[in-house]
Amino acid sequence: MLQLIDPSGNVLRTDVVEGRSVKIGDAMVMPAVDGWEGLGGYRLETYVAPEPSFEERKEIMKNDVTVKREEVENSGFIYNGVPVKTTRSAQNMLANTINGLKNKPEGTIVKWEASPGMFVPFDLPALEALSDEVFDHVNSTFLRKEQLFNQIDAAQTEAELDAIDINSGW
């Protein structure tokens, strides 16, 4: 990244991408190049973002944990040899299908397309068992997130924070 500096030495922007155009007032600099100096004393220099503070690192790490939790929740799993989707949409469809089957005669079968061209029959007890597995899968992601948040909050040093592996244990 480059930073745009005005003639007085004030940094106007720190998000200039090298090789792209940058607008200065009504004029354009094409392309943005490190070390460029223009009319009126404007210039572009390499911008090195400051390292985040310890507390900022904790917040960044918590955000990364939240993203990871959502990825794991949506990643699905294999149930009795059948791939199961666990996106929010799939979870809602499962709940709606269970509710619908409760209003149908006992033994009613529905067929779900588990993967393209793979249709799997389910009755109400089978869907309820699957729902329990989906619930456990989703719940485990929240439990792991809580565990990691507690570890992050408890960290007192950079080394302790660096030792937390947010990618394992899911």
Pair of tokens at residue 91: 């979870």
- Per residue of the chain (170 residues), give pLDDT as tens: 889 888 899 999 898 888 888 777 766 666 778 888 877 788 889 988 889 999 999 999 999 999 999 999 999 999 998 889 999 999 999 999 999 999 999 999 999 887 778 899 999 999 999 999 999 999 999 999 999 999 999 999 999 999 999 999 99
Give the number of C-alpha atoms closer than 13 A to the C-alpha of residue 157, restricted to the C-beta side: 3
Q: From CA 37, how far away is CA 87, in angstroms rounded?
A: 51
- Could you tell me which residues come within 8 angstroms of residue 11 by beta carbon, excluding any fewer than 6 positions away? 3, 4, 5
In the chain the domains, ranked by start, together with CATH numbers, are 2-46 (no CATH), 54-162 (1.10.287)
Spell out the residues 6+ positions from residue 44 whose beta carbon is closer than 8 angstroms to its own.
Answer: 2, 3, 4, 5, 16, 22, 29, 32, 33, 34, 35, 36
Positions of E strands within the chain: 2-5, 11-16, 22-24, 27-29, 43-46, 77-79, 82-84, 110-115, 118-122
Cα–Cα distance between 39 and 7 in angstroms, integer? Answer: 9
